[in-house]
Amino acid sequence: MTRIDDVARLAGVSTATVSRALRGLPTVSAATRRRVLAAAEQLQYAVSPSASRLAGGKTGTVAVVVPRITRWFFGTVVETVEDSLQQNGYDLLLYNLGGREQTRQRVLRTANLHKRVDAIILVATPLRAADVHALTKFDLPGVTISSGSGVPGWPCVRIDDVAAARTATRHLLDLGHTRIAHISGDPDDELAFTTHLDRRRGYQEALRAAGLRPDPSLDVESRFTIDGGTRATAELLARGEPPTAIFAACDEMAMGAISALRDAGLRVPQDVSVIGIDDHDLAGVLGLSTIAQPAADQGRLAARILLDPLGTGVTEPYPGLVPVPRAAGGAPRTPASVILPTRLVVRDSTAPPRAH
């Protein structure tokens, strides 16, 4: 059986060069590529992806870590990351933390990631000091998505959660609402997931800018799920006078809020307006007003940024992204953070408060 070493010997190059040439990477000159292809054809060499990767000291795999794969945002991001990686010859190794601290420590601190993968993408995974220390020791390229904290030298792709929440709350204020409730994230959920803190901050900033004082009785914590939104809204209604509007920290919670309001005999938006954040796939079907965030674009862009230091030769610019200048010698300079825009999408779930 012909091996990659045989092709390298006949072409007069290293096995790593053969691997790069047969993968079509631009780091090989045209003349060398022709010589390698001719040698491979002469020896009837069939390319083995795994052998090609190992010849260059690579696994051909990227680790992607998510808090809970069942959530819409995480699933959407992972799907687009995997698509981008596969187009460039890389496989995805998924680590789903599932809300378990033991799994988190095993994956981020004790798992031999540096032996299994060539790079790491962390999706909305808050990091403790011990996590950062362990990931830094791996000495692998990485990118974080929608994370409040990161690893030194790793770029982050995210939205401005504070600004998104301000926009959602301001939309309700502009409609004339003043008694606006907020369904926020559970601080004990998602292994210290912090997005809900930024969204609460934006909600409170918008209220204060309008001359209103945030009312703790209108702020309920729950899980980032439909059931979490249902439970939180039921708790809000049990506290007494219902709000005229609800800003939910995500669309799934907003969907649960609408369900609970209807079960209580309240109409949306005639009695209570509801808005979320995400632009979930079902938001349009349900007529939910929301702040649309580019979930798929965050995954696609994170993969695009990561593929450059992996030497895949991906050079096409990402739509809307300002090209990152290169340092001397052509080494890429990755940005510390790339913030993608969000936009207000007004549908049927928000309207001015009805006159009493």
pLDDT per position as a tens digit, 281-300: 999 999 999 999 999 999 99
283 and 276 in contact (C-beta within 8 Å)?
yes
pLDDT per position as a tens digit, 204-249: 999 999 999 999 999 999 988 999 999 999 999 999 889 999 999 9
pLDDT per position as a tens digit, 158-192: 999 999 999 999 999 999 999 999 999 876 665 45
Q: Which residue has the higher pLDDT, 134 or 350?
A: 350
In the 3-class helix/strand/coil scheme, how is 60-121 assigned residue by residue? CEEEEEECCCCCHHHHHHHHHHHHHHHHCCCEEEEEECCCCHHHHHHHHHHCCHHHHCCEEE
- Mean pLDDT of the chain, nearest integer: 84
- Res. 23: pLDDT tops 80: no
Question: Quick one: pLDDT band at residue 337, thresholds 50, 70, 90?
Answer: confident
Residue 317 is given by DSSP the state P
Across 16-20, 48-52, 145-149, 228-232, the highest mean pLDDT is recorded for 228-232
pLDDT per position as a tens digit, 55-64: 455 778 899 9
Sheet holding 91-96, edge to edge: 91-96, 61-66, 119-123, 142-145, 156-158, 337-339
Strands 119-123 and 156-158, bridge-based pairing: unpaired
Q: Which residue has the higher pLDDT, 180 or 118?
A: 180
* pLDDT score for 222: 92
- Res. 278: pLDDT tops 70: yes
* pLDDT score for 108: 79
* pLDDT score for 266: 97
The percent of residues in the chain predicted with pLDDT above 90, rounded, is 49
pTM, two decimal places: 0.78
